[in-house]
Structure 1
Amino acid sequence: MRQRSLADWIGLAVMLVISLAAFYPFYSMMIMSTYESNELYTGIKLLPGSYLGENLKTLFSIDFLAFYKNSLIVALSTTVLGVLVSAAAGFAFGKYEFRFKKTLFVMVLVTMMIPMQFGIVAFVLEMRWLGWLNTLLPLIIPPAANAFGVFWMTQFARSTIPGEVLESARIDGCGETGLFFKIVLPFLRPAFVTLGLLFFLWSWNSFFVPLIVLSKDSLYTIPLGIRGLAGQFRADNAAQVLGLTLGTIPVLVFFSIFSKNLIEGLASSAVKG
């Protein structure tokens, strides 16, 4: 085993400093959630306080578990549906030839450049016409049609899936549906997992669309529920911080489980792109 050089130790020290700097905001958030709101502005907190129990009582008095459940339903549903739609569209654009293919793909890319706020009025009117206002459907169905997801999967499918494999499967009698689920999805697994993590993160942190389409407290997601603490309890910042801390747990769990796949997917996309 070779001895570490000075450059190695310097690199380790730099990585340690970067890691601590990245971890400190989350640690600070956890510590701040154990203090009373008035104490948050009296200096930097490094040790836990004694007000965690009261903050938990305040947080759960607004039915925080219901908000958590709504966020999980929306995020998981959007992730599964969005990744499947993106994979199917990406496979079609990447491996099929059909009329107006390039035009349609350019139209998909153009939608990435248009801010959502430009179409929010039409979006709300459409949701009202469909009868989806004050339901979770506007948070699940429309986000599944994601232009970035289609672009990501198209690039991956175009360079990853061998045409010979598809033709062999068709010769063996495999239909297009079976071809997609049995042949295509295994090839797309790295991109599949990476895009799924992004979908989950986008959906979990979404605030603007739920604010527009939801007015029933029972349907609120975590961002909207935490915002309610500001009006109902005179801006109880400590309880809000505690809610944010608990709200980051699913994201941390997902990233810790699938971090290897995330790195693999990003690296594969960079190499193939």
Structure 2
Amino acid sequence: MSSYVRTTAATVGIAMISIFALLPFYIMMIMGTYQNEDLFQKIVLIPGNYLLENFKTVADSRFDLVYLNSLIVSIASTVLSVFVSAFAGFAFAKHEFKYKKNIFAGVLLTMMIPGQLGLVAYVIEMRSLGLSGTLVPLILPWMANAFGVFWMTQFIRGAVPTEVLESARMDGCSDIGVFFRIVLAFIFPAITTLSLLVFLWSWNNYLLPLIMINKPELFTIPLGINSLGTAYRTDLAAQILGLTLGTLPVLILFAIGSKSFIRGLTAGSVKG
């Protein structure tokens, strides 16, 4: 088999897989252009004429405020999670201290415990601190991201040469200076990968906002989509349009950072 035939076959195969992967998202976008009752009659493949009405329903629900709340929560969660994870990963990977292995094993152990088990205690804690009914409880859990610490530890351990750090320290650079001036340059792919993952997880988080948020003006995207409709009728078409709008930022971020995301994953898999 010639290289041209192999290339053509691979291209056709990838194209078919891409079509099957994108078809559900395409159908989701098309369903947002139909009236609610039409969705139960057939599978829609061509755009309908009810887009403006559905968009008005979404706009009337203060979807812009919901969007803003999700952006605040997701961006703050991402920034805090990445920097705390990077600092902790740097400490575990390049420093020696007492009980280091035991503490790292404790971090890994928390990854095996479902987060839902601690929800009741977390709600009580937030109420005791007077933070219940705010966006802060949606951000704080990401500062203790066990996966992020593990990810950064493995990446820094393999990607950052110890000799470079020792040379910087001999030149009088402090640990903080070493981290910001040297380590960050080496771990940029890992930062991009973890940032995209944390943003996605925070953006799509439904359970924690459902428990912690009871004010409509503080709803995030999942809660805002779920609230579309009336007390007597669930407007699935408007919800699907809201879901489409809520998916766009994630698609844009992955389109922009896809190369760094893949580079971070492959580097971590080889060097970890």
TM-score range, shorter chain: over 0.9
Letter in 2 for 1:212: I
Instruction: State TM-score, norm by structure 1.
Output: 0.97
CA distance in 2, matches of 1:207, 1:231: 20
Q: Alpha-carbon deviation of 1:233?
A: 6.2
Q: Secondary structure at the match of 1:131?
A: coil
CA distance in 1, matches of 2:238, 2:74: 23
Would you say how many aligned residue pairs link Structure 1 and Structure 2? 271
Provide the residue aligned with 2:218 in structure 1: 219
Is 1:24 aligned to 2:23, yes or no? Answer: yes
CA distance in 2, matches of 1:231, 1:224: 14
Q: Alpha-carbon deviation of 1:207?
A: 0.3
Provide the residue aligned with 1:124 in structure 2: 123
Q: Go from structure 1 to structure 2 and tell me whether the alpha carbon gap of 1:139 and 1:189 turns closer, same or farther (over 3 Å shift).
A: same
CA contact (8 A) 2:54 2:241 kept: yes
1:89-146 deviation line (CA, Å, top 9, x unaligned)? 0000000000010000000000001011111110101111111111111111222210
CA contact (8 A) 2:78 2:142 kept: no
Provide the residue aligned with 1:47 in structure 2: 46
CA distance in 2, matches of 1:129, 1:255: 38
CA contact (8 A) 2:90 2:152 kept: yes
Provide the residue aligned with 2:203 in structure 1: 204
Kindly report which structure 2 residues correspond to 1:167-206, keeping only aligned pairs within 5 A, or say none: 167-206=166-205
CA distance in 2, matches of 1:80, 1:20: 34
Q: Alpha-carbon deviation of 1:87?
A: 0.4
Q: Secondary structure at the match of 1:70?
A: helix
Provide the residue aligned with 2:164 in structure 1: 165
Paired-residue identity, %: 56
Q: Alpha-carbon deviation of 1:231?
A: 4.7
CA distance in 2, matches of 1:65, 1:12: 40
CA distance in 2, matches of 1:32, 1:152: 38
Kindly report which structure 2 residues correspond to 1:234-273, keeping only aligned pairs within 5 A, or say none: 234-273=233-272
Q: Go from structure 1 to structure 2 and tell me whether the alpha carbon gap of 1:158 and 1:31 turns closer, same or farther (over 3 Å shift).
A: same
Q: Which runs of 5+ in 2 are unaligned?
A: none
Provide the residue aligned with 2:154 in structure 1: 155
Kindly report which structure 2 residues correspond to 1:141-152, keeping only aligned pairs within 5 A, or say none: 141-152=140-151
Q: Alpha-carbon deviation of 1:167?
A: 1.3
CA distance in 2, matches of 1:106, 1:83: 20
Q: Secondary structure at the match of 1:229?
A: coil
CA distance in 1, matches of 2:3, 2:232: 55
1:198-225 deviation line (CA, Å, top 9, x unaligned)? 0000000000000011001100001001
Provide the residue aligned with 1:13 in structure 2: 12
CA distance in 1, matches of 2:234, 2:34: 14
Letter in 1 for 2:269: A
1:209-260 deviation line (CA, Å, top 9, x unaligned)? 0001100110000100111125546110000000000001100110000000
CA distance in 1, matches of 2:169, 2:91: 15
CA distance in 2, matches of 1:233, 1:181: 55
Give the root-mean-square deviation of aligned CA atoms.
Answer: 1.2
CA distance in 2, matches of 1:120, 1:218: 23
Q: Secondary structure at the match of 1:202?
A: helix
Instruction: State TM-score, norm by structure 2.
Output: 0.97
CA contact (8 A) 2:31 2:44 kept: yes
CA contact (8 A) 2:81 2:145 kept: yes
CA distance in 2, matches of 1:194, 1:184: 16
Q: Alpha-carbon deviation of 1:14?
A: 1.0
